[in-house]
């Protein structure tokens, strides 16, 4: 894996309803994520934060909240990530809520013929404007990148889809809406629920994911939502779900992925310091990021 890393902060909270998640990039920087990566021989360029123009109130566009702002931020992020990949550097994107994956993958996927995606998350993030119960776009990015949902989101950066269903693996999910279940079934998306992880172990899950993607993809984007962890260990998230992964399981998965040399980009999202316990969750996130490059 490349150790020439460009760090991009996306202080976005408009894909959901909870304030605080916009502080994620700043907290990770303040707690020393750059120094930790430098300690494992990474060369870091900090590209700063994508600017966010906060509306005075929630913008409702049909069933979707803050659609215009999410589109604007996603386009800017896509251009920034695109430039990083063109410089042959590893994009490390720090959120912010998971709606940022719309812009991340738009900027990354154009450089690959068959981009793989490993998606650690308690949720499926496969809702569309037709199936969403909340209107929160952070519950839609995986569907959007598959080409399902609002046309202005799916068509971002003037191409679609960004990823094929057979190149996606979701790990750690335990909260899926009916519309998401239907999409998973119809498109045969590979999913490892928490029940499956408990049954066969995270080592086997991660090894199977590597085997599944290594010959069919030419790059793999890793999207890590901190709510995949159990809230007893990682309370600092906006949408916690009981029964999640243990931290030691997730770190072990990162180490296995590091050795595979498959990961070509990383985003870490949904850290909410307002709900955290003395930055416990943010510190775990830094440990996980370091584990991916410490090899």
Answer yes or no: 98 catalytic: yes
Catalytic residue (choose from 13, 98, 150, 249): 98
Task: Estimate the crossing angle of helix 247-260 against helix 280-293, to 10 degrees.
Answer: 20
Look at residue 102 in the predicted model and tell me its pLDDT: 98
Answer yes or no: 227 catalytic: yes
Catalytic residue (choose from 13, 22, 180, 225): 225
Q: How far apart are CA 29 and CA 37, in angstroms?
A: 11
Answer yes or no: 195 catalytic: no
Catalytic residue (choose from 49, 82, 270, 290): 270
**Domain definitions of the chain by residue range:** 4-293
DSSP alpha helix (H) spans, the chain: 24-30, 33-38, 67-86, 101-109, 141-146, 151-154, 178-187, 194-200, 202-214, 247-260, 280-293
Catalytic residue (choose from 123, 150, 249, 290): 123
CATH number of 4-293: 3.40.800.10
User: What does the pLDDT average to over 84-113?
Assistant: 98
Look at residue 74 in the predicted model and tell me its pLDDT: 98
How many other CB atoms are there within 10 angstroms of residue 146's CB atom? 23
Q: How far apart are CA 116 and CA 234, in angstroms?
A: 27
Catalytic residue (choose from 227, 249, 267, 276): 227
Torsion angle defined by CA atoms of residues 107, 55, 176 and 169, in that order, rounded to the nearest 10 degrees: 10
How would you classify the pairing of strands 60-61 and 64-65?
A: antiparallel
The tens digit of pLDDT for each residue in 125-165 reads 999 999 999 999 999 999 999 999 999 999 999 999 999 99
pTM of the model: 0.97
Share of the chain above pLDDT 90, in %: 95
How would you classify the pairing of strands 115-120 and 168-173?
A: parallel
Q: How far apart are CA 130 and CA 134, in angstroms?
A: 11
Answer yes or no: 138 catalytic: yes
**Among 264, 257, 160, which residue's Cα sits nearest to residue 212?**
257
Q: How far apart are CA 145 and CA 121, in angstroms?
A: 16
Answer yes or no: 123 catalytic: yes
How many other CB atoms are there within 10 angstroms of residue 170's CB atom? 26
What band does 2 get if pLDDT is binned at 50, 70 and 90? confident
Look at residue 29 in the predicted model and tell me its pLDDT: 98
Answer yes or no: 225 catalytic: yes
Look at residue 15 in the predicted model and tell me its pLDDT: 95
Give the DSSP H or E segment for 8. Answer: strand 4-10
Judge contact between 121 and 98, C-beta under 8 A.
Answer: yes
- Strand partners of residue 220: 116, 263
Look at residue 56 in the predicted model and tell me its pLDDT: 61
Q: How many CA atoms lie less than 13 Å away from 173 in the CB half-sphere?
A: 21
User: What does the pLDDT average to over 167-179?
Assistant: 97
The tens digit of pLDDT for each residue in 8-65 reads 999 999 999 999 999 999 999 999 999 999 999 999 999 999 999 887 666 676 789 9
Look at residue 63 in the predicted model and tell me its pLDDT: 83
Residues 6+ apart with CB under 8 A from 217: 112, 114, 115, 116, 167, 262
The tens digit of pLDDT for each residue in 224-271 reads 999 999 999 999 999 999 999 999 999 999 999 999 999 999 999 999
Q: How far apart are CA 196 and CA 219, in angstroms?
A: 25
Answer yes or no: 121 catalytic: yes
Catalytic residue (choose from 13, 22, 49, 125): 125
């Amino acid at each position: 894996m490349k150790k020439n890393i460009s760090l991009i902060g996306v202080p976005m909270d408009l894909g959901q309803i909870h304030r605080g998640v916009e502080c994620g990039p700043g907290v990770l920087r303040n707690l020393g994520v750059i120094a930790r990566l430098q300690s494992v021989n990474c060369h870091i360029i900090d590209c700063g934060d994508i600017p966010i123009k906060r509306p005075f109130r929630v913008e409702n566009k049909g069933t979707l909240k803050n659609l215009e702002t999410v589109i604007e931020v996603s386009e800017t992020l896509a251009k920034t990530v695109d430039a990083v990949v063109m410089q042959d550097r590893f994009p490390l994107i720090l959120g912010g809520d998971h709606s940022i994956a719309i812009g991340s993958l738009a900027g990354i996927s154009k450089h690959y013929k068959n981009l793989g995606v490993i998606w650690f998350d308690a949720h499926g993030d496969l809702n569309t404007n037709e199936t969403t119960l909340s209107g929160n776009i952070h519950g839609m990015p995986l569907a959007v990148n598959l080409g399902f949902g609002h046309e202005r989101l799916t068509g971002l950066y003037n191409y679609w889809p960004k990823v094929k269903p057979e190149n996606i693996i979701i790990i750690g999910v335990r909260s899926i809406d009916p519309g998401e279940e239907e999409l998973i079934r119809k498109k045969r998306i590979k999913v490892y629920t928490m029940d499956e992880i408990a049954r066969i172990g995270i080592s086997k899950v991660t090894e199977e994911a590597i085997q599944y993607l290594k010959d069919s993809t030419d790059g793999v984007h890793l999207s890590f939502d901190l709510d995949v962890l159990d809230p007893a260990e990682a309370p600092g998230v906006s949408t916690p779900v009981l029964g999640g992964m243990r931290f030691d399981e997730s770190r072990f998965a990162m180490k296995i992925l590091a050795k595979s040399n498959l990961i070509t980009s990383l985003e870490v999202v949904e850290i909410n310091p307002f709900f955290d316990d003395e930055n416990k969750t943010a510190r775990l996130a830094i440990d996980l990021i370091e584990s991916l490059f410490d090899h």
